Amino acid sequence: MKALLLWPVMPNSFWSYQETLNLAGLRSTNPPLGLITIAAMLPAEWEIRFVDRNIRFETEDDWAWCDLVIISAMIIQKQDFRELIQKGVARGKKVAVGGPYPTSVPEFALEAGAHYLILDEGECTIPMFLKALARGETRGIFRSPEKPDVTQTPIARYDLLDLNAYLAITVQFSRGCPFQCEFCDIINLYGRKPRTKTPEQMLQEFQVLYDLGWRRYVFVVDDNFIGNKRNAKVFLRALIPWMEAHHYPFILLTEASLNLAEDDELIELMVKAGFTIVFMGIETPDTDSLVGIHKLQNTRQDLIESCHKITRAGLQIMSGFIMGFDNERPGAGKRIQAFIEETGIPQCQFSLLQALQNTAMWNRLQKEGRLVDGLGTIHQGAIMNFVPTRPVEELTEEYIDAFWHIYEPMPYMKRTFRHFQMMNGWRGKTKRPITMTELRLFAAICWRQGLLRSTRFRFWWQLGAIALTKPRLVYDYLIALGAGEHFFHYRYQVREQLQAQLATIKQAKQRKLVSAT
């Protein structure tokens, strides 16, 4: 079998970092870990070609060569996902699909014409698919309620990647999250009992990346790295000596719940293992909203002090914030802005609430008749896909204003400086060289922020202060400023997209009013 594995185009969003990538001469933030892991599960005698369409497009030769097309996708990729399915079918190819989006919304892939739906987790459903192929079946939907033992998951086919095109390479330690936030679909996809790989597995994966010559960011893509704290600590204790022996070749980042602040030992182990950034879903400083969405783990301690504690230990925080929860009080945007300023968090994934299909929130809103047809592409420029308890125009305009001001260059630069000044300056000793990619990015930052903009005096003063007081954080600090370049540009797109949607909503209401009179 000749299989063509395709990863659809990722539209510009918070996570795309498109402007930053352009400045650094890179093409994409990170590769599709799920798809290259599936590649490792396919029979050894198969021939495989992998194409990340964010790096390059597949060729006519690729289409002519293959017998089978395998496509994975997330919801934000839905447009290109559908077009690829249709393209494959039109060319007479068998099309198999999988990943988070078709698992959550299988009818979308079926309507587009996919022949095989390999849903849920591949360790269970890839064998079903292969057996169906061997029997000569031309269609099928393969599902499994069973949650696989991830200690049996093979190492992803990192050799298929163009490593020079990516900012970060991805690995996975665990699947699942013990919490039950109403709006989150992770527990639907992976369950509430975190399953973890062994330390030996993880070190083998790190060694593969090391041997391939990778020396930049490694994103541990767990939805909650500390979902199983005991196993996370076991892994970190094994990782620390490996990182020390290899002179800290990677810069590690991950996602974790805010209750990390409750465990001093875990924070210290993460820092000593080389983690420098942790993404946390803070969502909102409004306790009533947190209780309403069952995010009780964020109500046990003071939110600001928890953030400060994690930052002081040496971890840069990235955070998620959301507007539009039920019974949210007016001024939520200003309160989130104030929280971000007080904590100094540079990068904030700030969006309007979206109801993800089959979550507890989706089911509740469906019963209440509040879901809106035709919406649901999840990105910062999308209006909510349900009727909120506040007027949608008021809520959206408040959000636009907050997003715009959070990502103004001067406030971003000032709070990034405060965040890094708060941090412990420890970093593991590394022999990792500064590459042309990083030099290009740093030169562009100095040109734009240090010369072109009115931030120029503030930029050089802050850079000098960081160099003198936290010399080991200069690299991380410049990368954070470089990430800002994406947001400085992206805020224009967000404002334009949301204002266009608001205009459409207002026109529809006016037409309805006219027809009623």
Closest to 122 in 3D by CA, of 34, 230, 208: 34
pLDDT bracket for residue 169 (50, 70, 90): very high
191 with 176: CB under 8 angstroms?
A: yes
pLDDT tens digits, residue range 95-105? 999 999 999 99
Residue 375 has pLDDT above 90, yes or no: no
> Among the residues of 91-213, which ranges form H helices?
100-104, 106-112, 122-134, 186-190, 199-211
Question: 462-503: per-residue pLDDT in tens?
Answer: 999 999 999 999 999 999 999 999 999 999 999 999 999 999
**Amino acid 513: pLDDT:** 82
CB 116 within 8 A of CB 132: yes
pLDDT at 378: 64
CA distances from 169 to 18, 23, 205, 252, 430 (A): 17, 19, 11, 10, 18
Torsion of CA 165, 166, 171, 172, to 10 degrees: -120
End-to-end CA distance of the chain: 64
Angle at 205 between CA 260 and CA 96, to 5 degrees: 100
Task: Give all strands of the β-sheet with 68-72 in edge-to-edge order.
Answer: 47-52, 2-7, 68-72, 94-98, 116-118, 140-142
Q: Is the per-residue pLDDT at 158 higher than 70?
A: yes
Q: Does the pLDDT value for residue 355 go beyond 80? A: yes
Mean pLDDT score across all residues of the chain: 95
CA atoms of 444 and 467, how far apart (whole Å): 18
Secondary structure (DSSP) of 346-410: S-EEEEE----TTSHHHHHHHHTT-B-TT----STT---SB--SS-HHHHHHHHHHHHHHHT-HH
Reported confidence tier of residue 437, pLDDT bands at 50, 70, 90 = very high
Q: How far apart are CA 469 and CA 422, in angstroms?
A: 11
pLDDT, one tens digit per residue, over 263-302 is: 999 999 999 999 999 999 999 999 999 999 889 888 888 9
Model confidence pLDDT, tens digit, residues 129-145 = 999 999 999 999 999 99
Averaged over 172-186, what is the pLDDT?
91
pTM of this prediction exceeds 0.85: yes
The predicted-structure confidence for 181-201, as pLDDT tens digits, reads as follows 998 888 888 888 999 999 999
pLDDT at 376: 53
Rounded mean pLDDT, 211-225: 97
* Pick from 426, 479, 184: nearest CA to 318: 479
The amino acid occupying position 379 is H
